[in-house]
Structure 1
Amino acid sequence: MKTLIWQGIAFQSLEYFKLKEENGNHIANSRIIGRYHDSIYTIDYHITIDKDWNTLDFLIESEINTVKHTLKGKKIQDEWEINNSMNPDLKGFIYIDISLTPFTNTLPINNLKLPVNGSQEIKVIYIDVLNNVIKPVSQQYTRIAPDTYHYDNLQTDFKADILVDADGLVVSYPELFEKIAKLA
């Protein structure tokens, strides 16, 4: 099991994160607390990921200024059921990107296994937890060094160079997240 804490810089948060192996899958569990502009929030998420780092299901429970939301997603073959309803806009997607955590960058980083200078465009289910929005987004990852990936959001002009450890977990995501503690 891996346990670590990320500090959210832009979103003024702390995330207590655990990753373990269970029945051949990776299981991620986390709790995020923070403050952003006029919002105080707590987020709990659970993600089941197969051995190849494909997302199988997720559960996100949030409370933002005392308003609670639950978002459940389950991959059924190559389609997604979101809160008990099939979403055809997400057909074929294998990744999710949760706005308040750097962990979901690990999913494509570990799945794609890019060589240095390798690049891949992907489609992700983007989950903006603070605004309760879920939408398809195109992103691109380029491995620029053994431990560094250049991230591009292809819908916006947002770009970043993300430093990861040997497990593909984010160490530094400039201006957004920093790992501040880790247990083996």
Structure 2
Amino acid sequence: MKTLIWQGIAFQSLEYFSLKESDKDIQITSKIIGCYEKKIYVIDYQLTIDPDWNIQEFTIDSEVNTIKNTLKGKKYQDEWKINNVINPDFKGFNFIDISLTPFTNTLPINNLKLAENDAQEIKVIYIDVLNNLVKPVTQQYTRIAPHTYHYDNLQTDFKSDIVVDEHGLVVNYPKLFDKIAEI
């Protein structure tokens, strides 16, 4: 079991994160509280991940400026049912990217097992919690050092070098997140 706290720099947040591994899956529970551009928010999310770090199920409960929302997704073979509707835009996707946490970067980092200087393009379900937006996004990860990955959103000009620990958990995501405590 891992428990840690991330500080959101741009999103002025704190995230209390817990990871529990078993033989059959990895369970994530997390709570984020913060404020950004006149939006005060609290997010609770739970993820079920298979042993290969593919997302299988997620629940995101959010409250942004007192407006509550729940987003649930479950993978059925290679299709995603999100809030009880099969969405063909996400067929074959193995990863999600939740806007307010660095954890979802761990999914492709641990799944792809890239050698140094190798790169891989992936498709993710991008979840912008503050704007209640869910869409497909193409990203690329390149391992540039033993604990450093270059992240590139291929649909925007956003790029960053992410430093992770030996478990693939983000230590530093420049200008966005820093790990500040761990037990």
TM class by smaller structure: over 0.9
1:143-154 paired onto structure 2 within 5 Å: 143-154=143-154
Pairwise CA distance, 1:21? 1.3
Q: In 2, Cα distance between the equivalents of 1:94 and 1:130?
A: 23
Amino acid across the alignment from 1:46? Q
Runs ≥4 residues deviating over 2 A: none
CA distances 1:99-136 after superposition (whole Å, capped 9, x unpaired)? 00000000000000000001000000000000000000
TM-score with structure 2 setting the length: 0.99
CA distances 1:25-49 after superposition (whole Å, capped 9, x unpaired)? 0111100000001100000000000
3-state SS of paired residue (1:10)? coil
In 1, are the aligned partners of 2:23 and 2:51 still within 8 Å (CA)?
no
Pairwise CA distance, 1:22? 3.3
Pairwise CA distance, 1:23? 4.8
TM-score with structure 1 setting the length: 0.99
CA distances 1:76-106 after superposition (whole Å, capped 9, x unpaired)? 0000000000000000000000000000000
Percent identity between the aligned chains? 73
Question: What is the match of residue 10 of structure 2?
Answer: 10
Question: What is the match of residue 48 of structure 2?
Answer: 48
Q: In 1, Cα distance between the equivalents of 2:119 and 2:144?
A: 9
3-state SS of paired residue (1:121)? strand
Amino acid across the alignment from 2:28? A
Question: What is the match of residue 19 of structure 1?
Answer: 19
Amino acid across the alignment from 2:4? L
Q: In 2, Cα distance between the equivalents of 1:151 and 1:128?
A: 18
3-state SS of paired residue (1:157)? coil
Give me the CA root mean square deviation. 0.5
In 1, are the aligned partners of 2:17 and 2:30 still within 8 Å (CA)?
yes
Question: What is the match of residue 31 of structure 1?
Answer: 31
Amino acid across the alignment from 1:98? I
In 1, are the aligned partners of 2:2 and 2:20 still within 8 Å (CA)?
yes
3-state SS of paired residue (1:110)? helix
Amino acid across the alignment from 1:106? T
Aligned length: 183
Q: In 1, Cα distance between the equivalents of 2:24 and 2:115?
A: 25
CA distances 1:156-181 after superposition (whole Å, capped 9, x unpaired)? 00000000000000000000000000
Amino acid across the alignment from 2:7? Q
